[in-house]
Structure 1
Amino acid sequence: MHSKVIIVGSGPAGHTAAIYAARANLEPVLFEGMLAGGVAPGGQLTTTTEVENFPGFPAGITGIELTDKLREQSERFGTEIITETITRVDLSSRPFKLWREGAEADADEPDTCDALIIATGATAKRLGIAGEDKYWQRGMSACAVCDGAAPIFRNKPLVVIGGGDSACEEATFLTKYASHVYIAVRRDAFRASQIMARRAENHPKITVMWNTHVIEAKGDGSVLTHVVLQDANTKETRNLATSGLFYAIGHTPNTAFLDGQLDTDETGYLVVKPGTSLTNVAGVFAAGDVHDKTYRQAITAAGSGCMAALDTEKYLENLAAEEHERASGKL
Structure 2
Amino acid sequence: KPLVVAPPMGGQLMSKGVSVDNYPGMPDSTGGDIIRVMKRQAIKYHTTFEEEMVLAVDLSVRPFVVTTNASSFTAHALVLATGADSRWLGVPGEEDLKGGGVSSCATCDGFLFSNKPVLVVGGGDTAMEEALVLARTSTSVLLVHRRDTFRASKVLQDAVLRHPKISVAWNTTVREFKAGEGGMLAAAVLETDGEAREVAVEGAFIAIGHIPNTNFVSGQLEMTPSGYLVTRSGSTATSVDGVFAAGDVADWTYRQAVTSAGTGSQAALDAERWLSETQLGVGDDDESDADEACHPEDYEAWTMKQIKKAFKDKGIDAAAECRGCMEKAQFIEVLCRHGGAM
When the two structures are superposed, what TM-score results if normalisation uses the length of structure 2?
0.80
Structure with the greater relative contact order (CA < 8 A, sep ≥ 6): 1 or 2? 1
Q: Does 1:174 align with 2:148?
A: no
Paired residue for 1:78, among 23, 41, 46? 46
Residue 271 of structure 1: SS of its match in structure 2? coil
1:69 to 34, 37, 62: 37
Matches within 5 A, 1:153-302: 153-220=113-180, 221-231=182-192, 233=193, 235-302=194-261
Contact 2:106 2:130 in 1 (8 A): yes
CA distance in 1, matches of 2:279, 2:240: 18
Q: 1:322 to 1:136 in 2, by over 3 A?
A: closer
1:32: Cα distance to partner?
2.0
Q: Which one has a bigger Cα radius of gyration?
A: 2
CA distance in 2, matches of 1:79, 1:42: 17
Aligned counterparts of 2:48 and 2:95: Cα–Cα separation in 1: 33
Amino acid at match of 1:230: E
TM-aligned CA distance change 1:318 to 1:159, over 3 Å = same
1:31, distance to aligned residue in structure 2 (A): 0.8
8 Å CA contact retained: 2:244, 2:267? yes
SS in 2 for 1:312: helix
1:56 aligns with 2:10: no
The gaps in structure 1 that reach 5 residues or longer are: 1-26, 35-40, 104-109
Contact 2:52 2:70 in 1 (8 A): no
Q: Helix, strand or coil for the counterpart of 1:133?
A: coil
Measure, in 2, the Cα distance between the counterparts of 1:199 and 1:321: 52
- Matched residue count: 287
Question: After TM superposition, where is structure 1 displaced by more than 3 Å over at least 4 residues in a row?
Answer: 321-325, 327-331
1:139–1:223 contact (8 Å) kept in structure 2: yes
What RMSD, in angstroms, separates the aligned Cα atoms of the two structures?
2.0
Compute the displacement of 1:57 (Å). 2.1
Find the counterpart in structure 1 of residue 73 from structure 2.
111
Partner SS for 2:22: coil
**Mapping of 1:3-14 within 5 angstroms?**
none
User: What is the TM-score of this pair, normalised by structure 1?
Assistant: 0.83
1:137: which partner in 2? 99
Distance 1:222 1:55 in 2: 31
What is the CA–CA distance in structure 1 between the aligned matches of 2:38 and 2:184, rounded to whole Å?
29
Q: Which has the higher strand share?
A: 1
Paired residues of 1:214 and 1:228 also in contact (CA < 8 A): yes
Say if 1:32 and 1:42, in contact at 8 Å, map to a contact too: no
Query: Residue 4 of structure 1 aligns with which residue?
Result: none
The residue aligned with 1:16 is none
Q: 1:246 to 1:204 in 2, by over 3 A?
A: same
Deviation at 1:260, TM superposition (A): 1.9
Q: Percent same amino acid among aligned pairs?
A: 43
Q: Which amino acid is 2:5 matched to? A: F
Distance 1:329 1:173 in 2: 57
Q: Where does structure 2 lack aligned partners over 5 or more consecutive residues?
A: 283-310, 321-342
In the alignment, the residues of structure 1 paired with residue 268 and residue 121 of structure 2 have an alpha-carbon distance, to the nearest angstrom, of 37
CA distance in 2, matches of 1:222, 1:65: 24
Q: 1:81-92 to 2 correspondence within 5 Å?
A: 81-92=49-60
2:76 and 2:280 in contact (8 A); partners too: no
Contact kept in structure 2, 1:125 and 1:251, CA below 8 Å: yes
1:125 and 2:87 matched: yes
Following TM superposition, by how much is the alpha carbon of 1:329 offset from its aligned partner in structure 2, in angstroms?
A: 11
After superposition, what is the alpha-carbon deviation per residue over 1:243-275, rounded to whole angstroms, capped at 9, x for unaligned? 100010000000001132110011100000122
Question: Whole-Å Cα distance in 1 between the matches of residues 130 and 223 of structure 2?
Answer: 25
